[in-house]
């Protein structure tokens, strides 16, 4: 019961922390941010950098992708210009995982205090920035709870067997990461859990990287659902996001073990190596896809 309580609370804090971090930053940015985003998608490269910065601010590639779908559906931006936003959003989302890899646990009580008091007493707009600080502290608190809950859980026979099977079959790791990210609606939350598993030695680094590949695919689920009631152009934006991460996983999958060796050569704690894998995958996937945006747009426009 103690293990179950720790895991449940940890997962709840993780999802709630992601939610209020995202909500606080979005509310702090306000309509000015949205209006600026409209103006910064005139070219694919401007959309690319806008998507990167916007996702770093919003702390959610899913949120920006859903926004891009709604922008295209309402005619505020064109389908082709939205593709640059999607590429940038994949890079901007890596900021959260890099923060989670930092040793900031001693700052949790202070961040909780500042965030809570700031939300109560700061002026209207700045209280949302304090709310974001509160959300970030919840993320680190969640990781500590999950780590304490998972430590005894991995001693269970069937859990060890499951993790052993994942260690031998990286493709299953991709599927597991896809499903977990689709359920959590966040690749960053999934990456945080994978960082804990890898740090505790429950899974190998190559398997953790396979989870990351899957997490990027699963995070497209929300945007796909949001696009079902939109026009064809907006649906193509969501489809592009899926294909981008799917082809990225297919391209990097044969190099999974060399990538793990490269990350180990760079060094650092295992959690940082997992975060670096998330960053490297998203940055390289987006940069590789950038020259092919016109071709991708033409192919997607043929879909009726």
pLDDT digit string, tens, across residues 228-248: 767 787 788 888 888 888 998
In the predicted model, what is the mean pLDDT of residues 120-127? Answer: 75
Average predicted confidence (pLDDT) for the chain: 76
Question: CA-to-CA distance for 233 and 301, rounded, in angstroms?
Answer: 8
Torsion (CA) 237, 251, 101, 148 in degrees, nearest 10: 100
- With the C-alpha atoms ordered 289, 240, 211, 4, is the resulting torsion angle positive or negative? positive
Question: Measured between alpha carbons, how far is 275 from 209 in angstroms, rounded to an integer?
Answer: 9
Percent of the chain with pLDDT over 70: 71
| pLDDT above 60 (res 127) | yes
**Domain positions in the chain:** 1-300
Q: Note the pLDDT of residue 54.
A: 74
Q: What pLDDT is attached to residue 144? A: 66
Token pair belonging to 12: 């709840």
Q: Is 156 left (phi over 0), alpha (psi -120 to 50) or beta?
A: beta
Could you read off the pLDDT of 84-119 as tens digits, one per residue? Answer: 888 888 888 777 777 766 666 677 777 778 777 877
Instruction: For residue 165, name the pLDDT band (cuts at 50, 70, 90).
Output: low
Higher per-residue pLDDT: 68 or 104: 68
Indicate the pTM of the whole model. Answer: 0.72
Rounded to whole angstroms, the Cα distance separating 163 from 36 reads 46
Q: What percent of the chain shows pLDDT beyond 90?
A: 0
**How far, in Å, CA of 203 to CA of 150, rounded?**
12
DSSP state of 75: T
Q: Which residue has the higher pLDDT, 303 or 51?
A: 51
**Better-predicted residue by pLDDT, 99 or 280:** 280
Render pLDDT for 18-65 as a digit per residue (tens, 0 to 9).
667 667 766 766 666 556 666 677 677 777 887 888 777 666 676 677
104 Cα distance to chain centroid: 20
* Residue 176 near residue 241 (C-beta atoms within 8 A): no
Mean pLDDT within 280-295: 88
Q: How confident is the model at residue 193 (pLDDT cuts 50, 70, 90)?
A: confident
């Amino acid at each position: 019961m103690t293990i179950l309580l720790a895991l449940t609370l940890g997962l709840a804090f993780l999802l709630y922390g992601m939610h209020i971090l995202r909500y606080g930053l979005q509310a702090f940015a306000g309509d000015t941010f949205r209006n600026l985003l409209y103006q910064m998608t005139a070219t694919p490269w401007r959309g690319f950098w806008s998507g990167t910065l916007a996702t770093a601010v919003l702390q959610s590639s899913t949120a920006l992708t859903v926004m891009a779908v709604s922008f295209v559906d309402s005619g505020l931006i064109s389908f082709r210009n939205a593709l640059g936003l999607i590429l940038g959003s994949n890079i901007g989302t890596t900021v959260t995982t890099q923060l989670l890899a930092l040793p900031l646990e001693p700052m949790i009580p202070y961040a909780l205090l500042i965030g809570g008091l700031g939300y109560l007493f700061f002026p209207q707009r700045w209280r949302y920035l304090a709310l974001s600080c509160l959300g970030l502290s919840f993320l680190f608190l969640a990781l500590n709870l999950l780590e304490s809950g998972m430590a005894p859980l991995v001693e269970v026979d069937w859990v060890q067997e499951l993790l052993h099977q994942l260690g031998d079959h990286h493709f299953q790791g991709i599927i597991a990461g896809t499903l977990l990210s689709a359920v959590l609606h966040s690749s960053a939350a999934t990456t945080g859990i994978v960082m804990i598993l890898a740090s505790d030695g429950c899974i190998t680094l190559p398997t953790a990287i396979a989870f990351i590949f899957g997490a990027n695919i699963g995070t497209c689920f929300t945007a796909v659902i949001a696009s079902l009631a939109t026009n064809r152009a907006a649906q193509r934006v969501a489809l592009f996001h899926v294909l981008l991460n799917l082809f990225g996983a297919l391209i990097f999958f044969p190099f999974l073990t060399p990538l793990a060796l490269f990350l180990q050569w760079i060094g650092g704690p295992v959690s940082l190596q997992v975060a670096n894998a998330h960053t490297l995958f998203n940055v390289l996937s987006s940069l590789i896809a950038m020259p092919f945006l016109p071709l991708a747009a033409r192919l997607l426009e043929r879909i009726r």
